[in-house]
Amino acid sequence: MPSRRKGDRTREAIVGRAVAHACRVGLAGLTISSIATAVGMSKSGMYAHFGSKEAMQIAVLDAAADEFSRTVLVPALSAPRGEARVLDLVERWLTCGRTRQPGGCVIVKASSELDERPGPVRDRLREHHLALDESIARIVRGGIDDGQFRPDADPAQFAHELYATMLGFHHALRLLDDPQAEARTRRSVAALLDAVRADGHESPALASTRGGAAETGSNEEDR
Amino acid sequence: MPSRRKGDRTREAIVGRAVAHACRVGLAGLTISSIATAVGMSKSGMYAHFGSKEAMQIAVLDAAADEFSRTVLVPALSAPRGEARVLDLVERWLTCGRTRQPGGCVIVKASSELDERPGPVRDRLREHHLALDESIARIVRGGIDDGQFRPDADPAQFAHELYATMLGFHHALRLLDDPQAEARTRRSVAALLDAVRADGHESPALASTRGGAAETGSNEEDR
DNA sequence: TCGAAGAACGAACGATCGTGCTATTTTGGC
DNA sequence: GCCAAAATAGCACGATCGTTCGTTCTTCGA
């Protein structure tokens, strides 16, 4: 039994459908009618759960963020600290995009929709993003404490660049339909990790995609 | 005299306002009424210029892309080949975001709005993006031919990563209001350039932001 | 200068939006 | 099994959406 009262269960179902729908039409594109028909309910039936459209948008936002946290962020935290954890996070993130799971893309869509629209929805979205940034930065700090990453690495900068990389992934995957989207993203992440690794060696992934030029190139072999 | 017929002039004015408006509400958020009142015309008056809302969206998209090309891409092409040209492009791109000029943000917004909405508008947007990718890649190829960039550098990968970086810039600037958005973006670009530079030296910009650890750290001094 | 071509208007249309209100059905503790 | 409480449906509202139509001004070449 997922919830005590029945209303909680249907509310959950509504939000679930709404998240999936928002993945296609965006958060601002959500309509009470469309979701109502999608779950087989009347419009007024939904107003008992969410008092307004704005409240429903926030509920959708929270659900999407929760789903992302549950399926991507939290599982990655059980991977070994440092580089392995970053790679695990990215792999789960890529899977989230590959399977077109709604959580991540709703947030990406909402980010560009709401960036110039002040209000409670935008504020909530901002909070989610700041929390995500902080989570990534914490993972990086773990790697620094472990000695895997350089002590002078900038966790906030890493978080910023990693998120930018995933934005690029979404862009290439969804708009451009680029079949190399995942491969390019992995290369970007490998380069990101190279920049913060304590020893200066390139990652095997990046070196291989460069056609073996790396070992004869410019990087040193001391240590 | 900007145009022969008067209708062309007003059409230009309409599109101009529409681009500015789309920068706030997105391409899908555009309304015939809102633009009509913004330019002081009647709704039906606009239908003489654009037969449908979709046609107007495409006109807005083209105008935004043209403005971006005119104010960012083309001027950057008169900078010296290679790294200087990349940096010039990025600087102009950053300025475009700093001054909240509408061109860039309309396209960024539309990209996430339309990524799951097939149709002529999405197709046109895709074309613009592929053209931009190709333009960036061509700049990189110029640097390779000049010997500034490694011969095995991947222009398409560079274009992908540069665009991802600018997506991250928009995100940090507009949604997060991060005052460091520009600085972080410049560091990202510097890292991107480091990866493709023919000699292995770090750029001065990147080394300085690392607090001087670079020269005592892991990078070599041979050559 | 005249008159056709073009530009802009006002009104109205069906549809759909978000949102209230009042019934009616369904649930679940006693 | 009863009955308050919760959940949902039905209906209607004002507003606004994109779009069409017929009409009226305005432009500008002949």
Please write the tens of the pLDDT for every residue from B79-118: 999 999 999 999 999 999 888 777 778 999 999 989 889 9
Q: How far apart are CA A156 and CA A132, in angstroms?
A: 11
How much is the average pLDDT of B130-158? 97
- Which of these, A202, A157, A76, A207, lies nearest to B189 by C-alpha position? A157
pLDDT at A18: 95
pLDDT score of B100: 78
Chain segment B27-60, per-residue pLDDT in tens: 999 999 999 999 999 999 999 999 999 999 999 9
The dihedral built from the CA positions of residue B191, B193, B195 and B200, taken in this order, carries a sign that is negative
Instruction: Give how far B16 is from chain A: nearest CA, Å.
Output: 18
Could you give the CA distance from residue B72 to residue B135 in angstroms, rounded to a whole number? 12
Give residues with Cβ within 8 angstroms of A123, minimum separation 6.
none
Please state the rounded mean pLDDT for residues B64-91.
97
**Tokens at residue A133, please?**
């940034």
B199 contact residues in A (CB cutoff 8 A): 218
Give the separation between CA A86 and CA A89, rounded to whole angstroms. 5
Q: Which nucleotides of D are covered by protein (CB under 7 A)?
A: 6-12, 16-22, 27-29
pLDDT at B1 over 90: no
Distance from residue B3's CA to nucleotide C5's C1', rounded to whole Å: 17
Task: Check pLDDT > 50 for residue B158.
Answer: yes
Which residue lies nearest C11, CA-to-C1' measured? B44
Question: What is the pLDDT of chain B when averaged over all its residues?
Answer: 88
The dihedral of CA A134, A139, A144, A148: what is its sign?
Answer: negative
Q: Is A70 exposed, middle or buried (0-12, 13-18, 19+ CB in 10 A)?
A: exposed
Which residues of B, range 77-136, sit inside 8 Å of A by Cβ?
105, 108-109, 111-117, 122, 125-126, 129-130
Round and report the angstrom distance from CA (B44) to C1' (C9). Answer: 7
Q: Which nucleotides of C are covered by protein (CB under 7 A)?
A: 6-12, 16-22, 27-29
Residue of least CA–C1' distance to C18 = A53
Shortest distance between the Cα of A174 and any Cα of chain B, in A, equals: 5
What separation in angstroms does the CA of B5 have from each of B1, B9, B12, B60, B116? 10, 7, 11, 20, 38
CB B56 within 8 A of CB B43: no
Q: Determine if residue A177 is left, alpha or beta; phi over 0 gives left, psi from -120 to 50 gives alpha, anything else beta.
A: left
Residue A81 confidence (pLDDT): 96
Q: What is the pLDDT of residue A122?
A: 96
Per-residue pLDDT of chain A (223 residues; tens, 9 = 90+): 445 677 789 999 999 999 999 999 999 999 999 999 999 999 999 989 999 999 999 999 999 999 999 999 999 999 999 999 999 999 999 999 988 777 668 999 999 989 889 999 999 999 999 999 999 999 999 999 999 999 999 999 999 999 999 999 999 999 999 999 999 999 999 999 999 999 766 655 554 444 333 343 344 434 3
Looking at the predicted structure, is the pLDDT value of residue B133 above 70?
yes
